[in-house]
Amino acid sequence: MPEKTKAIFLDRDGVLNKEMGDYVCSIDDFHILDNFKALKTLQDKGYLLIVATNQGGLAKGWYTKAEMGKMHTQLKAAYKEHGVEFTDIYYCPHHPDYTGPCDCRKPKPGLLLQGIEKYNIDPAQSYFIGDRDRDVIAGTAAGVKGILIKSDQPISTILDLIA
């Protein structure tokens, strides 16, 4: 059995890019926040960085997977310039009013559980940084420590909460 890894799970909107209301529908509204140094610090401590985001706007048809893909390409490229790599980006494309219930929309822990299984992550050594209660609830349900920040609050301000 290979040794388990540890991870920082990150919500997207309001944590990695500016909160813009309900959904970020266009690449023009995708404004990456400067958490470069903070995430480099966490990566250097041995944490995988994994995004977990609800994207119910996909179910509503407010934007396409292609448009969202552009955002994620831009996000990865911006961080790569600072030596930071996102191991994976998990998203829930569902919305209960449009596609019915699912196991991945936060506060359900499905997105985190996918990452935990795929990358052999030890939840007890891992964290979920999010700007909504549902992020903390999803984290707790997956066995990781949830850290609630304000929307667009720099991650550098909560680094001392992470071992």
Q: Which of 6, 12, 105, 106 binds Zn ion (CB under 5 A)?
A: 105
* Residue 94 vs 132, nearer CB to Zn ion: 94
* Residue 112 vs 149, nearer CB to Zn ion: 112
* Cβ neighbours for 23, distance < 8 A, ≥ 6 positions apart: 13, 55, 56, 57, 62, 63
* Cβ neighbours for 109, distance < 8 A, ≥ 6 positions apart: 138, 139, 141, 142
11 catalytic per annotation:
yes
29 catalytic per annotation:
no
106 binds Zn ion (CB under 5 A): no
| Burial class of residue 136, CB neighbours in 10 A (0-12, 13-18, 19+) | buried
* Residue 39 vs 57, nearer CB to Zn ion: 57
5 and 122 Cβ atoms separated by less than 8 Å: yes
12 binds Zn ion (CB under 5 A): no
**What residues from 82 to 101 belong to the interface with Zn ion (CB under 5 A)?**
92, 94
Q: Which residues form the interface with Zn ion (CB under 5 A)?
A: 92, 94, 102, 104-105
Q: Which residues are catalytic?
A: 11, 13
